[in-house]
Every structure is written in C-alpha cells, then in structure tokens.
Amino acid sequence: MLKPEDIQTVIDEVVSRLVDQLDQKSMSPQGTSKALSDRVITTEQVPTVDHPGREVIVRSDAVITPAAKDLFRERGLILRRDSVREFGRQSARLKGRLVMVECDCELPAGVSSLWDEVKRFDCIVKATRETARICEGGHRVVLVTPQPEVAVIALSRSPVVRAVEVGSLAEPVAVERRCEATAANVIVVASWDGKPWRLSGVIEMFLEKQYAAIPAWL
C-alpha cells in the first residue's frame, strides 16, 4: 500500500508531465497545419509526418479515397474540412503570390491580409521573369500594374504563363469564366475601381478555382 508521501509524488509527476505537454503545444509553430487544394485526395497527397497531431485542412467538397483516409489515420494526422470560402483564404496564403510593377499604391486591407509577402518591381521585364519562375513552381500570381496591356504581352512570351487581364471588377463572373476557359495561372489587375472588396473577391475566386484540365490548345 502506498504511503501518503508516495501518492503525492505520483500526483506531482503526473501534473509535471501534463504541464510539459501543454507547454510544448503552446510553443509549437503556428504553421503546423497544412492545406490541400485538390478536390480528389489520394495517398499521393497525404503529407509525411513532421509534427505529431498535425492538422490537414481540405475543402468541404473534397473527395478522399479510402486508402488516403487510412493513411491519414496511420500517420496520426488530424483531418479537417473547411468551407470553400474559408479554404480560399487558406489557399491564398499557400498557393498565390502578389507581384506589383511600377506601382507604389497601398493595397486595400482586405487584399493585403491575403499575402505574407509582396514582390515589387520597377519594370515589367523583371516582373515577367519572376512571375514565370513562380508559375513553374506551381503557384498562381496576381500582378498589379498601371499598364496591364503591356504586362499581358510580356507575360505571353513565357510558355508556362497563362495570363488573363482583369479589365473591370464590376463583372467577377466574366473574370471567372475567362480564367476557367484558359486555366489561367496569372491575373493582371490595373486597379480596384474604388471598391476594394471586389478585388479581394476576385482574387479569392482565382486562387481557389479548380480547373478540370488545361485546354488542349494551350
């Protein structure tokens, strides 16, 4: 039979271990979650385990194969579905880049909150090179410039860039159709027409858009 002092020792040890676990969770990096943009999740998309209990966020309409579900469990990953709109905000940070050319204007708060970094260039040639590099890495680009026509011409010289000029933010559905038709990976924006909420909406649509396939004629 344990003595009172032995019982207290056991209690102290349990409390100490619980405190250590809580401290480790509070000190863990904020970027321990991962978002998967695919609508069909197979074992190929299941990330390797680098953080115990890591959270993986998928779209609410994603289809997860049985084998992938088993692998999630085997690797101790926490699977969470998010709404398409909320996932778009996650995707914006993970899959998109913002490039500004010859433009010193301040971005609207709703747009700047989507980015961790903004790349600024003083000429379209430098911006085109960087945009092509980003697209080769599988990311999409939102390019802001006062000369969108020139930017689109320069971007069209790169075989990996499929650019769409956003002439007006008044018809976001038309922009979405153009992006869908060309499987666009770059949108070129001249301004936000005094209505920044429209720009953030178009950007989120562009970044969360899932294309069935790249058109054969491209």
The domain in which residue 196 lies consists of 95-208
User: What H or E segment, with its residue span, contains residue 155?
Assistant: helix 148-155
What pLDDT is recorded for position 169? 81
* pLDDT of res. 198: 79
| CATH number of the domain that residue 64 is part of | 3.100.10
**Beta bridge partner(s), residue 63:** 40
Given 82, 109, 142, the domain boundary residue is 82
Of 82, 107, 142, the one marking the end of a domain is: 82
b/e for 6-22, b at 16 or more Cβ within 10 A? Answer: eeeeeeeeeeeeeeeee
Model pLDDT, residue 2: 57
Tokens of 131: 């945009």
pLDDT score at 202: 87
| 90 vs 97: CA distance, rounded Å | 13
Contact 162, 218 (CB under 8 A): yes
Q: Looking at residue 100, what is its pLDDT?
A: 93
pLDDT at 1: 56
Q: What is the mean pLDDT of each run of 10 residues along the chain (218 residues)?
A: 61 56 44 69 79 77 86 87 58 71 80 80 93 88 92 92 88 88 91 72 85 62
